[in-house]
Chain A
Amino acid sequence: MNDTVDDPVDGRLAFATTEATDISVLPKRLVRRPHILQIVAGDVAPRTIPLTQDSMSVGRSNEADIRIMTADLSRMHMRIDRTRRGFKCFDMDSRNGVFVNEVRVHSAVLRDGDLIQLGNVALMYHEGS
């Protein structure tokens, strides 16, 4: 058991071991946070979508992995692939385009906090671990 000493030296916390720690109660591996898309604007917001597959499509179609029923979206509007450089979004020849941080892109490697705009739908990308 580790006890915090109530009387810290120089304002720092100090620890004193009084018993051996039982490591069997510790997690066997670090918990990984998934990469996620967070819908932050549009009719279907707020919503959080974990990127659990290596390739996921976004659009109005029944066939889309992430189906968003909004007139601004094409049937197959955008694809997001896991690549060795990180997740990457691709415009699937959509009518209204894919904008990353207000720049219309054909494709873009995504970084934490990027805002993806598809018509009136805005999605924020969060990098996992």
Chain B
Amino acid sequence: MSFLVRFWGVRGSIPTPGLQTHRYGGNTSCVELEVDGVRFICDAGSGIRELGIDLMEEGPKPLTAHLFFSHMHWDHIQGFPFFTPVYVPNNHFTIWGPRTGDRRFARLLGGQMRSSYFPVDFHDLGGTISADDLGDGERVIDGVRVRVFHQHHPGVSFAYRFEKNGVSVVYATDSEIDLDLDDPELPLRDPGALRGVPQDLVAFCRGANLLIADGQYTDEEYPKVVGWGHARATTIVDLAVLAEVEQLAVFHHDPMHTDEEISDLIGHCQQRAASHGSDVTVFGAREGFELRLDRPPGRRQTQY
């Protein structure tokens, strides 16, 4: 089995090109999963443009992909009109809604391509675009089991778990799990203590090979941005520890954070995981990283 994960955009809120974001990248959210040749695309931030360039370079063969959206905030859809493969006839894309009959994502995605905003109308795209949904929150799509989880974010957002043959990836961005802690005051009273995150979220992430999670803020920043819909990076470390995931990619980097600041934050997160006795691999999601996850967790690969 081949289970590949590619990071095309890892930044939150707005694209941030420049020397200070060169290492991690400045494109907004887009992660691609390729499972035995079946392609899933999570979010269509500006990173999807780069994915489109790569796919076009692969040649003229018809392309099929499944598009999943955490939500419709601008930084998660703004790249779609620049995703070249949707202009190509014979390419087919399915936009998946999180609930039975929910076609809202497909409708809103097209809305940003009305003439006031963009010169090409959604209905004039050359590719075929259809809408479907996850029914009661779970579907098997081309052999891959996909589940959805409702998250805490202004206007709501959704996490997805993709699983095949025991290998699984959870994509969970734009989620303020700090608002759902068992003891919201604990991070202020005892910052190093393991935080009680919601059990249903822990169960959703349980044993994943890779958890890609919103960790936009430092502990120092968070009190000033409560309610903005994003988490402390340290809290998602605790989620990863409690859910016993193999790897955690800290995602949705703050647009104000430089490469150096992100590296410092990741170092702090790694220390925190170790202090909880966990061997989870913690890293900062980075444009241009491709991971291959072809073994169920527990069968650790050789590491040095």
- Nearest chain B CB to A34 CB, angstrom units: 19
Q: What are the residues of chain A within 8 A of B286 when measuring CB–CB?
A: 108
Known contacts A91-B292, A102-B281, A103-B281; A109 and B304 CB within 8 A of each other: no
| B283 & A88 in contact (Cβ 8 Å cutoff) | no
| A105 & B289 in contact (Cβ 8 Å cutoff) | yes
Question: How long is the Cα–Cα vector from A106 to B3 in the complex, in angstroms?
Answer: 11
**In-complex Cβ contact of B288 among A85, A95, A117 (8 A):** A85
Closest to A100 in B: B289
**In-complex Cβ contact of A97 among B281, B283, B301 (8 A):** B301
Question: How long is the Cα–Cα vector from A96 to B247 in the complex, in angstroms?
Answer: 18
| A109 & B287 in contact (Cβ 8 Å cutoff) | yes
- Nearest chain B CB to A121 CB, angstrom units: 10
Q: What are the residues of chain A within 8 A of B115 when measuring CB–CB?
A: none
Known contacts A101-B283, A102-B283; A117 and B292 CB within 8 A of each other: no
How many contacts A-B (CB < 8 Å)?
A: 47
Q: What are the residues of chain A within 8 A of B281 when measuring CB–CB?
A: 102-103
Contact string, B262-304, partner A, CB cutoff 8 A, digits 1/0? 0000000000000000000101001111111000000001111
Question: How long is the Cα–Cα vector from A109 to B289 in the complex, in angstroms?
Answer: 7
Say whether B107 faces chain A, with CB atoms less than 8 Å apart: no
A:105-120 near B, CB below 8 Å: 105-109, 111-112, 117, 119-120
Question: How long is the Cα–Cα vector from A88 to B6 in the complex, in angstroms?
Answer: 13
Known contacts A101-B283, A111-B22, A111-B23; A106 and B292 CB within 8 A of each other: yes
Known contacts A102-B283, A103-B283; A108 and B303 CB within 8 A of each other: no
Say whether B125 faces chain A, with CB atoms less than 8 Å apart: no
Question: How long is the Cα–Cα vector from A111 to B281 in the complex, in angstroms?
Answer: 20
Say whether B72 faces chain A, with CB atoms less than 8 Å apart: no
Say whether B4 faces chain A, with CB atoms less than 8 Å apart: yes
Q: What are the residues of chain A within 8 A of B302 when measuring CB–CB?
A: 95-97
Question: How long is the Cα–Cα vector from A86 to B291 in the complex, in angstroms?
Answer: 18
Contact string, B231-251, partner A, CB cutoff 8 A, digits 1/0? 000000000000000010000
Question: How long is the Cα–Cα vector from A120 to B287 in the complex, in angstroms?
Answer: 26
| A106 & B290 in contact (Cβ 8 Å cutoff) | yes
- Nearest chain B CB to A123 CB, angstrom units: 13
| B289 & A108 in contact (Cβ 8 Å cutoff) | yes
Q: What are the residues of chain B within 8 A of A96 when measuring CB–CB?
A: 302, 304
**In-complex Cβ contact of B301 among A86, A104, A119 (8 A):** A104
Q: What are the residues of chain B within 8 A of A101 when measuring CB–CB?
A: 283
Question: How long is the Cα–Cα vector from A103 to B286 in the complex, in angstroms?
Answer: 11
Q: Interface residues, chain B, CB within 8 Å of chain A?
A: 4, 22-23, 50, 247, 281, 283, 286-292, 301-304
17 CB-based A-B contacts, threshold 8 Å: A95-B302, A96-B302, A96-B304, A97-B303, A99-B304, A100-B289, A102-B283, A103-B281, A103-B291, A104-B291, A104-B301, A106-B291, A108-B290, A109-B288, A111-B23, A112-B23, A120-B304
